[in-house]
């Protein structure tokens, strides 16, 4: 799995330096112009997942790939990227323009929950094509953000949050670009990577009150907006394992960790791992390693 790009990695890659105030901030926001990073020397952006949100006004011909989908933009579009969905951006012509902003989830702390908006949810369509009127309207919003971030206004970041939400609400009212399915090995690799990210984000379980939310293949397929059989074929082609095998192995790994390093009882551990009854957890564990959770715990901590 490719390394997740942190906000620090973004600055090192784009500016070769990390702002001094980055670690001191509760949340982070910044805005840039595309021509500072793309143009005649533009290169394909590697396919990866980022730990920050991004809203980009793209002007120029581009191709975007995410999960098993491909979207081609021929003129102008608004792009929304969230920390869960990896994507690849490929410029299709030398001339590129526009701008983009990046921000962390914490930037919207006490100002609503940014990830609850449809444009940032899993399975959402991330690209919205723009006509000329929409382009000029959104360009004006971005220019207002540039103005405010460079101002000395004491409450400028509150104002910037409202401007960002203008972009979000504008997109929600628009029709997203139609995506085509990519039936190739790269699409399968993207699906496999995103599935692994979703699975791993549920661990480690740090409290007996926490519980796995995504536990069966259908749960993951729903979040990825693909059919369960499609997810299974993609994982099988890339890893040689089925979706159920992947999930079971990771649950078993976490079960052993919790049995060895916590004092939670068997029922609590089974509940955290999504089992409705302790007997179901015990049966699953014994079927996998040929011993009960209780015996494993006594042996592991002896």
pLDDT of amino acid 136 = 97
Q: pTM here?
A: 0.62
Largest CA distance in the chain: 71
Residue of 145, 131, 65, 133 whose CA lies nearest to 99: 145
Please state the φ and ψ torsions of residue 15, each to the nearest 5 degrees.
-120, -5
- Considering only residues 188 and 167, tell me which one the structure prediction assigns the higher pLDDT: 167
Instruction: State yes or no: pLDDT of 50 exceeds 80.
Output: no
Give me 150's structure tokens.
């460079």
Instruction: State yes or no: pLDDT of 2 exceeds 60.
Output: no
- pLDDT mean across residues, the chain: 84
Please tell me the least confidently modeled range out of 64-73, 122-131, 135-144, 277-286.
64-73
Other beta carbons less than 10 A from residue 88's beta carbon: 16
Q: DSSP E strands: which ranges in 104-189?
A: 127-129, 180-181
Hey, what domains does the chain have and what are their CATH numbers? 7-174 (2.60.120.280), 183-301 (1.10.10.60)
pLDDT of amino acid 90 = 82
Tokens 């670690």 label which residue?
23
Instruction: State yes or no: pLDDT of 14 exceeds 70.
Output: no
Q: pLDDT tens-digit profile of 222-234?
A: 888 789 999 999 9
- Which residues are CB-contacts of 109 (< 8 A; sequence separation ≥ 6)? 26, 27
């Amino acid at each position: 799995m490719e390394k997740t790009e942190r906000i620090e990695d973004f600055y090192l890659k784009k500016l070769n330096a990390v702002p001094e105030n980055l670690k001191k901030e509760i949340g982070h926001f910044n805005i840039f112009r595309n021509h500072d990073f793309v143009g005649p020397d533009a290169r394909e952006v590697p396919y990866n997942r980022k730990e920050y949100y991004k809203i980009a006004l793209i002007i120029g011909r581009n191709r975007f790939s995410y999960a098993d989908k491909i979207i081609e933009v021929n003129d102008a579009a608004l792009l929304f990227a969230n920390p869960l969905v990896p994507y690849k951006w490929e410029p299709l012509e030398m001339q590129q323009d526009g701008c983009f902003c990046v921000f962390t989830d914490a930037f919207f702390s006490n100002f609503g929950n940014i990830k609850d908006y449809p444009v940032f949810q899993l399975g959402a369509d991330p690209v919205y094509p723009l006509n000329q009127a929409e382009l000029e309207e959104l360009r004006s919003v971005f220019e207002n953000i540039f103005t405010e971030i460079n101002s000395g206004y004491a409450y400028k970041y509150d104002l910037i949050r409202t401007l960002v939400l203008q972009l979000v609400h504008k997109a929600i009212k628009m029709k997203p670009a139609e995506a085509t399915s990519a039936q190739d090995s790269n699409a399968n690799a993207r699906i496999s990577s995103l599935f692994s990210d979703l699975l791993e984000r549920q661990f480690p379980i740090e409290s007996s009150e926490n519980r796995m939310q995504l536990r069966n293949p259908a749960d993951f397929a729903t979040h990825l907006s693909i059919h369960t059989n499609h997810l299974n074929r993609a994982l099988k082609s890339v890893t040689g394992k089925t979706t159920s095998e992947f999930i079971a192995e990771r649950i078993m790994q976490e079960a052993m960790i919790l049995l060895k390093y916590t004092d939670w009882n068997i029922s609590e551990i089974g509940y955290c791992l999504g089992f409705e009854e302790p007997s179901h957890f015990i049966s699953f564990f014994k079927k996998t390693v040929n011993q009960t959770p209780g015996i494993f715990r006594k042996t592991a901590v002896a």
